Amino acid sequence: MSFLRNIALCFLVSASAFSLAAAVRSHPGFRGALMTRVQVFDQTIWQPAMTRARAAADTLLAAPTSDARVVLMLAPPTAADERAVARVEILPPVERPGIIGRAPEVLDTPIVIAPTLPAIRLPPERQASAIQIVPVQPAPPRAAEAPRRVTQTLTREQARARVRLIANLSSDMRRNFDLFLFVSKAKEGPLAQRMFVFKKEAGDISLLYDWAASTGREQQEVNARGQASFTGTPAGFYQLDPARMYTRYRSYSWDQPMPYAMFFNWRREGIQTGLAIHAAEGTDRLGMRASAGCVQLSPENAKTLNELVRAEYHGQVPRFSVDRNDTMSNQGRFAKAADGALRMASGYRVLINIENYSGLGDDSIADVMF
């Protein structure tokens, strides 16, 4: 009730203050004398009243606490009875302003807590082992979770090839392909005559393989059929032809074996070209311009790539556009429908990027594109 009285007093004081303020406003001559009265009122009545009200509120709204302490002492059961004995001790409450304390209750006599179920009578031979204390085994430490992404440690050449590939890829290429083969057809340089196999995973592009390769000799020659042929490997972007994937194949024009051949899906003036990735007859000329135009790898690496592509990367891919001469683009232009959507077809989600890029950083545009 003292708290309610303090609240009522504050309300009356506030109403009086507002009434005085209205009177002062109506009669300005009383302002000086009234200000002196207001200061006296504030110091003698208002501030003490607010102090008491805050103290009462703090006491009333304080969180309930308990000063009781319970000491539980258990005695082992006997053969005659199974009961736990507990002694309860309640400490005197802490005195608080405005709260009337109760007389402390001290329980000197132990309280016998009987079980709610009937006592279980044990044979004498089992009484000694009736109660066993089983230590709680700590939980084994949790194994540290493996990081979702492991940063690769690449050589300077591998890192440069990765940067170059990513710079060449359009958003459509990166979104619709999962395996990227970056081939340098340069004659010399740190990246010359190598294939870098990159895999897209979790939105990132990581290196899978770094292999020595051989591209075209880049000169005019006569093939095994007596026909003039330019043994060059044209730079650009290519896809694989799902209808021309072979474990064993032999070139008609050059009369040479092409194990593990994967032909490019690149049509020029209406005719599918014979460009492909395949195994070389030997490894002695890998790392230099030695082929008739195809990209050659060692037999082991060609087999690995052939099996990887055919096992894991079949799917829908966008097709490159075709010009009026029925030549498919190798500059990265995709065919689109009237609404702008990419024209998709069944194939392999593998994109080949061939460049005349030595990795020295001084390659001209003309050297890279041709």
- Edge-first strand order for the sheet with 295-297 is 240-245, 262-264, 276-279, 295-297
Q: What's the pTM?
A: 0.59
Given a contact cutoff of 8 angstroms between Cβ atoms, the answer to whether 175 and 169 are in contact is: no
CA-based nearest residue to 351, from 258, 238, 264, 270: 238
Tokens of 55: 């103290």
Residue 47's contacts (CB-CB under 8 Å, 6 or more residues apart) are none
Residue 103's contacts (CB-CB under 8 Å, 6 or more residues apart) are none
Domain ranges of the chain: 2-61, 63-94+105-112, 156-369
Amino acid letter, residue 61? L
More confident residue, 357 or 26: 357
pLDDT per residue over 40-71, tens digit each?
Answer: 777 777 787 777 777 776 766 655 555 555 54
Q: Average pLDDT, stretch 256-277?
A: 96
Angstrom distance (rounded) from CA 156 to CA 65: 68
pLDDT per residue over 65-115, tens digit each?
Answer: 555 555 455 555 555 555 555 554 555 555 555 555 555 555 555 555 555
Angstrom distance (rounded) from CA 255 to CA 226: 11
pLDDT for res 224 = 92
pLDDT for residue 231 is more than 80: yes
User: Element (H or E) spanning 126, and its range?
Assistant: helix 124-127
The CATH number for 156-369, chosen from 2.60.40.2300, 2.40.10.10, 2.60.40.1240, 2.40.440.10, is 2.40.440.10
Q: Judging by DSSP bridges, how do beta strands 236-238 and 240-245 pair with one another?
A: unpaired
